[in-house]
Amino acid sequence: MTVKVGVLSLAHVHAASYVDILGRIADVEVRVADPDGEGLGAPDRGRAGIESLGATDAGSYDELFAWQPDAVIVTSENSRHRELVERAADVGADILCEKPLATERADAHAIRDAVSRSGVRFVTAYPVRFATSFRQLVGIRDSGALGEIVAVRGENNGKLPSSRDWFTDPVLAGGGALFDHVVHVADLLDVLLESPPVSVAAVTNGILHGDRADVETGGLVLVEYADGVIASIDCSWSLPDTAPRWGGVWLHVLATGGTADIDFFDAAVRGVDGATGSAVELSIGENVDEALLTAFLDMVRGDEHPPLPDLDAGLRSLSIVFAAQESARTGRRVAVAL
């Protein structure tokens, strides 16, 4: 059985990775549409970007949906997720959607309603939960060896996005570093703690890259969970442009039975470029994007697959972001609600 997959937009930095992975799977036919990128003059957007990936250009979104894909991957700007999810739901295509799911509560509700109404299957793009190290941590928790988790410190730090200006556009992105980076760690906490978040306190600033971005570039979020666990999330664009890698995700767990520390992207070959003298870091770790896509495609085919981050998971992490934005704006602790 050939699975027809449509990739909707090249706006997100993960889109190219998804297209490359899909292109190497024998029973997948992939087409890409990036009409919003056509007039930007960027070599990695629009028709030129699609051709550079060796993919088939579907033209417009209308043409892609007329192709009747079995599934779609929504990799547009955050504020455009709702429209594309609704269109995919209308034609009965299963959906993998980039995070954060929406920039406004009304759009999040509309996405939920469209998926519920159509009955399509929906997955939120949280690939880090597929990391072997995280699965091992969950296994240790399940065994009881970790004891009771008391507190967690999470970090998702990176460079200021430079190849996609929309990441620093408050309308298209919904915010800055807080909006972009909190959700990955929030999803890991969702799986690890198995307890609902109840309140959030957050602070942000724009000191880092203040001359280049009109959104928050640094932030710290404290989340209180129903079982009493307190988690902190550092969500800053704090790596310099000269750093050898884009950034990373870290998790530090304090429990009554011990501690656990994970650097999810640590496996790499490191050295120095002989010509420039600059640091070089080449990842040799597992491809969590590939693990996510493999599980998603297995779901589309009806095959056995590991648990996937569904729509509710995406909405739970988004509710933490909305609460954090309000807390940073008001200076008050805010209850988590969507």
| pLDDT, tens only, 289-336 | 999 999 999 999 999 999 999 999 999 999 999 999 999 999 999 999
**pLDDT over threshold 80, residue 233:** yes
**pLDDT over threshold 90, residue 1:** no
- Across 28-32, 160-164, 205-209, the highest mean pLDDT is recorded for 28-32
**pLDDT over threshold 80, residue 136:** yes
Instruction: Tell me the C-alpha to C-alpha distance, in Å, between residue 336 and each of 224, 230, 310, 311, 316.
Output: 10, 14, 19, 17, 9
**pLDDT over threshold 90, residue 219:** yes
**pLDDT over threshold 90, residue 274:** no
Neighbouring CB atoms inside 10 A of 333's CB total 15
Distance of alpha carbon 156 from alpha carbon 236, whole angstroms: 7
pTM, entire model: 0.95
In this predicted structure, what is the pLDDT of residue 245? 87
Q: CA 213, 214, 218, 221: dihedral to nearest 10 degrees?
A: -150
In this predicted structure, what is the pLDDT of residue 239? 93
In this predicted structure, what is the pLDDT of residue 255? 98
Q: pLDDT of 93-114, one tens digit each?
A: 999 999 999 999 999 999 999 9
Distance of alpha carbon 310 from alpha carbon 328, whole angstroms: 28
In this predicted structure, what is the pLDDT of residue 220? 98
Mean pLDDT of the chain: 95
Distance of alpha carbon 240 from alpha carbon 209, whole angstroms: 9
Distance of alpha carbon 218 from alpha carbon 44, whole angstroms: 28
Distance of alpha carbon 185 from alpha carbon 100, whole angstroms: 12
Cβ contacts of 33-36, under 8 Å, gap ≥ 24: 33/6, 33/7, 33/8, 33/9, 33/57, 33/58, 33/59, 33/60, 33/61, 33/63, 33/64, 34/9, 34/10, 35/59, 35/60, 35/61, 36/9, 36/11, 36/76, 36/77, 36/80
**Looking at residues 28-39, what average pLDDT do you find?**
95
In this predicted structure, what is the pLDDT of residue 41? 81
Bond before 100 cis per omega within 30 degrees: yes
In this predicted structure, what is the pLDDT of residue 40? 86
**pLDDT over threshold 80, residue 284:** no
Q: How confident is the model at residue 271 (pLDDT cuts 50, 70, 90)?
A: confident
**pLDDT over threshold 90, residue 20:** yes
Distance of alpha carbon 212 from alpha carbon 160, whole angstroms: 9
In this predicted structure, what is the pLDDT of residue 198? 98
In this predicted structure, what is the pLDDT of residue 278? 79
* 73-79-82 Cα angle (round to 5): 55
Q: pLDDT of 198-211, one tens digit each?
A: 999 999 999 999 88
**Looking at residues 238-256, what average pLDDT do you find?**
93
Q: pLDDT of 52-79, one tens digit each?
A: 999 999 999 999 999 999 999 999 999 9
